């Protein structure tokens, strides 16, 4: 038997694999396969040479075939990469933009500006598919926003205490 290429469950091209080893790699009757000499990708159950491998298997729905089948006598081209899709429950992180602007205006200007820069990056990174970088930018925006808030609150408290102390002393 010949060597075959096949598409796995994520529609990624695998192989070449010897026909006898296809079942070990999770190939079913409906898995699309191709070998040199075939004009297009075919479900493995439709290839006469492979029928003996699938005796008694259930038939799940077939995967979507690739757009451009390989030319006869050529190695099939790799499948195009798919854009990353968010996993179930994977939600865009909060960008902290409003809070970073407020802490910049009311608390601590230098740290607040850094928070605004990180907060402004979150949406662009997320929408361009750079999920990990967006999460990191959101965490940095939160960090600098909270530090700015802490510095601002601490400075107001110290200012109040020094003002009260100077009023009591008479300076």
- pLDDT tens series, the chain, 171 aa: 688 888 887 888 888 888 888 888 888 888 898 888 888 888 888 888 888 887 765 555 556 666 555 555 656 555 545 555 555 447 889 999 999 999 999 888 888 999 999 999 999 898 888 889 999 999 999 999 999 999 999 999 999 999 999 999 876
> What pTM, to 2 d.p., does this model score?
0.48
Radius of gyration of the chain (CA): 30
Domain stops at, among 30, 50, 83: 83
**What is the pLDDT, as a whole number, of residue 78?**
56
Question: Domain check: are 76 and 110 in the same one?
Answer: no
**What is the pLDDT, as a whole number, of residue 120?**
93
Residue 132 lies in a domain: yes
**What is the pLDDT, as a whole number, of residue 88?**
43
Question: Domain check: are 64 and 110 in the same one?
Answer: no
**What is the pLDDT, as a whole number, of residue 24?**
85
DSSP H or E run through 7: strand 3-7
- The maximal CA–CA distance of the chain, rounded, in angstroms, is 102
Question: Domain check: are 121 and 151 in the same one?
Answer: yes
Domain that holds residue 33: 1-83
Domain count, the chain: 2
Question: Domain check: are 104 and 138 in the same one?
Answer: yes
Whether 18 and 1 have beta carbons less than 8 Å apart is answered as yes
SS3 127: helix
Report the distance separating Cα 160 and Cα 74, nearest Å: 80
């Amino acid at each position: 038997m010949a060597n075959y290429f096949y598409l796995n469950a994520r529609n990624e091209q695998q192989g070449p694999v010897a026909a006898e080893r296809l079942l070990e790699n999770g190939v079913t009757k409906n898995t699309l396969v191709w070998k040199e000499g075939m004009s297009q990708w075919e479900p493995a159950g439709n290839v006469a040479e492979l029928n003996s491998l699938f005796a008694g298997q259930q038939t799940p729905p077939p995967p979507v075939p690739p757009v451009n089948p390989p030319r006869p006598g050529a190695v099939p081209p790799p499948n195009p990469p798919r854009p990353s899709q968010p996993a179930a429950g994977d939600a865009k992180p909060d960008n902290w933009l409003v809070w970073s602007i407020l802490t910049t205006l009311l608390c601590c200007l230098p740290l607040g500006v850094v928070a605004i820069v990180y907060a402004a990056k979150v949406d662009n990174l997320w929408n361009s598919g750079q999920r990990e970088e967006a999460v990191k930018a959101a965490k940095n925006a939160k960090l600098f926003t909270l530090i700015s808030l802490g510095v601002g609150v601490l400075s107001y408290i110290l200012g109040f205490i020094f003002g009260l102390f100077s009023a009591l002393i008479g300076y």
